[in-house]
Structure 1
Amino acid sequence: MEGGVKKVAKKEKEPFHVIHKVPSGDGPYVRAKHAQLIQKDPETAIILFWKAINAGDRVDSALKDMAVVMKQLDRTEEAIEAVKSFRGLCPKQAQESLDNILIDLYKKCGKVDEQIMLLKHKLRMIYLGEAFNGKPTKTARSHGKKFQVSVKQEIARILGNLAWAYMQKGNYIASEVVYRKAQMIDPDTNKACNLCHCLMKQGRYEEAHAVLQEVWQYKLPGFDDLKSRNRVEELLLELQESGMPLPSLMPNLPEDLTFDDDDFVEVLERVMNEWAPARSRRLPIFEQISQLRDQMAR
């Protein structure tokens, strides 16, 4: 009981900004954070974030926080324009996190092409050694918690997001190829389920079933999550209901097969050479697509 009293007394002595996890001071950025977190007034927070940016007060933090609040208010297009217009005022080390915010905003408002372009750019930055500030890991934050992310994990995450974007365009072959590359580097249940979905969309049910069997057999990361487990079971049920016909010898190729960026193909090839396990490397990287195109041309 005495220990509990001491903890309460200690907490009461802590400054207001420490208790409520807001910055100290009286500048426009601090007032914006108070409006956002304490007063729960997002509209006022946005006005004050603008003032902070114009006053040069913690510009990178103000820009990021303002974009997040705008997204919450469904002002996504405005947030995109703000980030693109003012990111030049932010230091180099803030650019990567601004890219992540932009990708999230593009995803929110359905700008898939812009999302794909920026994801390719991020992969190039890793290849050129300009991401992570030259370090093998970086500190990331999710739901208020900090954790370490390795270059390998980041590459797999970017490839997974890129594959998802291709899937939104209905380009299931492109999505499949990129998901397979991501799984070679850092496999997990979520990407496996998405890969299964891509294969099912192409009518390749037996291959899709094999992907799910691997999830069950090896208990891939994320398998213990109830939501992921339910999705695996739903996909298995859908496969069973389909009757699982033999896979088509010639899956239909979408007209917009968008692997036309030679520079990106080269970057992705070299990234795979460095980070994928040796037994999983397949050269050239898009030989699967080339073979299908050759067969179609005959």
Structure 2
Amino acid sequence: MSRRKLGEKQLDSEAHETPFHVLHKLPPGDSPYVRAKHVQLVEKDPDAAIVLFWKAINAGDRVDSALKDMAVVMKQQDRAEEAIEAIKSFRDRCSRQAQESLDNVLIDLYKKCGRIDEQIELLKQKLWMIYHGEAFNGKPTKTARSHGRKFQVTIKQETSRILGNLGWAYMQQGNYLSAEVVYQKAQIIDPDANKACNLCLCLIKQTRYADAWSVLNEVLQGKLVGADDPKSKNRVEELLQELNRCQSEKLSSNSLGSKIEDAFLEGLDQLMNQWTPFRSRRLPIFEEISPFRDQLAC
């Protein structure tokens, strides 16, 4: 038997030996929450999963997870406003430990709905909790998940992440000065290429091109985390083009302004030359002012 067939046979054997709920990353049992997860992950029926998550919440079955999972599925189904109301209505049934993760879900939902003011207030609240030592339930690190993998997040990393989100929210409001201040603080705590690019854009929007070049140069020199990432490289290329375009427009604008000023002065000279020879070439308003100016000079 070939190695390939042996490998396939071994995988099939392991699949049969592995319990169904482990294989599909489901919790064990047959409770309302477990059925909701089965419908969500195995049957791929989000609408039916939402109904079952509601039943789990009302039955008091793993309410922390049921509410968060339901909100995430609602967001995926473009029902973010409903998800916001659900969290606000039922979060008092959740444990204290679940509140922070619910806030994170709310922030994403506010962003999805364009409710920027509420997003900013919640981000500020999370920063306040970090400042007062209330984040991560008083622990220096927390376990987070991303694409099925677990990893540890430090307070320092979380602070920088929240500041980055706050800066982005300010940018959506067009408040580039506040966004700049926030990104500057985030870069002091935990610098990376993505936030540097956002900071650069804030400076461009304020026509502070020299400062923008300085920030972008740090990314170009590969000094920041993520500078070699393909997305960061594409972003840097876009910002370079934007900087060059803005500076070119500024030069053109200055040149155009000079041409307009020259044309205005030339036209003014022509207008004044039309005055009769016995009249002063100064406009009447200057004639009226002159006697007072001469008296003051005396």
Which of the five TM-score ranges fits, normalised by the shorter chain?
Answer: 0.7 to 0.9
Q: CA contact under 8 A between 2:222 and 2:228: conserved in structure 1?
A: no
**Aligned match of 1:62:** 66
Cα distance in 2 for residues equivalent to 1:159 and 1:52: 35
Amino acid at match of 1:51: K
Give the residue type in structure 1 aligned to 2:237.
E
Alpha-carbon separation, structure 2, partners of 1:153 and 1:67:
25
Displacement after TM superposition at 1:126 (Å): 1.0
2:122 maps to what in 1?
118
| 1:254-280 Cα deviation digits (max 9, x unpaired) | xxxxxxxxxxxxxxxxxxxxxxxxxxx
Alignment RMSD:
1.4
When normalised by structure 2's length, the TM-score is 0.80
After TM superposition, give the deviation of residue 84 of structure 1 in Å.
Answer: 0.8
After TM superposition, the structure 1 = structure 2 runs for residues 51-130 of structure 1, keeping only pairs within 5 Å, are: 51-130=55-134
In structure 1, how many angstroms separate the alpha carbons of the residues matched to 2:186 and 2:231? 21
The amino acid of 1:15's aligned partner reads: P
Contact 2:194/2:232, CA 8 A, preserved across alignment: yes
AA partner of residue 164 (structure 1) = W
Distance 1:120 1:241 in 2: 35
Aligned to 1:183: 187
What's the TM-score, normalizing by structure 1? 0.80
Deviations 1:91-126 (A, max 9, x none): 111000000000000000000000000001101111
Match of 1:26 in 2: 30
Q: 1:32-77: per-residue Cα shift (whole Å, max 9, x none)?
A: 0011111111111000000000000000100000000000110000
Shift of 1:3: 6.2
Partner of 1:166: 170
- Shift >6 Å, 4+ stretches: none
> Paired residue for 1:257?
none
Matching residue's letter, 1:196: C
Letter in 1 for 2:217: Q
Percent identity reads 71
List per-residue Cα deviations over 1:2-54 (Å, max 9, x = no partner). Answer: 56644431221111111111111111101100111111111110000000000
Report SS of the residue matched to 1:243. helix
Q: Which residue of 2 aligns with 1:294?
A: none
Aligned equivalents of 2:9 and 2:189: distance in 1? 50
Q: Report the counterpart of residue 254 of structure 1 in structure 2.
A: none
Query: Number of residues paired by the alignment?
Result: 246
Q: Is the 8 A contact 2:32 2:53 kept in 1?
A: yes
Please list, as runs of the form range in 1=range in 2, the aligned pairs for 1:196-275 lying within 5 A after superposition. 196-243=200-247
Which is bigger in relative contact order (C-alpha 8 A, separation at least 6)? Answer: 1
Asked if residue 17 in structure 1 is aligned to residue 21 in structure 2, the reply is: yes
User: What residue is the counterpart of 1:39 in the other structure?
Assistant: 43
User: Helix, strand or coil: the match of 1:139?
Assistant: strand
The one-letter code matched in structure 2 to 1:69 is V
SS in 1 for 2:134: coil
How far off is 1:134 after superposition? Answer: 1.8
Q: State which structure, 1 or 2, has the greater radius of gyration over its C-alpha atoms.
A: 2
Where do 5+ consecutive residues of structure 2 fail to align? 252-298
| Deviations 1:191-248, CA, capped at 9 Å, x for gaps | 01111111111111111111100111243111121111101011012112222659xx
**Other-structure match for 2:272:** none
Residue type of the partner of 2:226? Answer: G
Is 1:48 paired with 2:61?
no
